[in-house]
Amino acid sequence: MSRDEPAAKGQMDRVRDEPEAAMTRRMAETAARAAAGMFAKDVVIIDLKGYVSYTDYFVVTSAETERQMRRVVEEVLEKMNEEGYKPRSRRVADEGASWVSLDFLDVVVHVFTDEAREYYRLESLWRGVPQERWEEAAR
């Protein structure tokens, strides 16, 4: 057992003690904060609880270029991993890809290039559900 394991175990125990709704919200906020911290554009949390059975939140964001998009994805994965959240699946951006999705079960993170985000318009597709623009200064 390493020195870090007890700290990580304590953190996971704290996470397990949170009510499920608060924990999934915290997951979405962790992903949003990570993306915003890497200068992702227009980070939006879409609350899908009660609307679909497969997830509670979408976190949607974009970056100008494919390279910047990949960096946002790396940052989200790193910060989620630090909090003990592992993706169930990850659609890895192939060369030339314009959209990456990270599935953490209760939270699905969508990172687009600006052009792909405009094309797919996920926020418009889900316009009838609660959506929140992430602004770190308000946190």
Region of 121 please: left (phi>0), alpha (psi -120 to 50) or beta.
left
Q: Which residues contact 130 (CB under 8 A, 6 or more apart)?
A: 46, 47
Residue 136 corresponds to which tokens in the numbers above?
């770190």
pLDDT band at 40 (very low <50, low <70, confident <90, very high): very high
Q: Above 80 in pLDDT, residue 13?
A: no
27 against 136, higher pLDDT? 27
Q: Alpha-carbon distance 54 to 99, whole Å?
A: 20
The reported pLDDT for the residue numbered 41 is 92
Give the model confidence (pLDDT) of 74-107 as tens digits: 999 999 999 999 888 766 556 678 899 999 999 9
**Percent of the chain whose predicted confidence (pLDDT) is above 90:** 68
For residues 66-70, average pLDDT: 91
The mean pLDDT value of the chain amounts to 84
> For 4-138, which CATH superfamily applies?
Beta Polymerase, domain 2 (3.30.460.10)
In the three-class reduction of DSSP (H, G, I as helix; E, B as strand; rest coil), residue 137 is classed as: helix
The reported pLDDT for the residue numbered 93 is 54
Domain spans, the chain: 4-138
pLDDT band at 15 (very low <50, low <70, confident <90, very high): very low
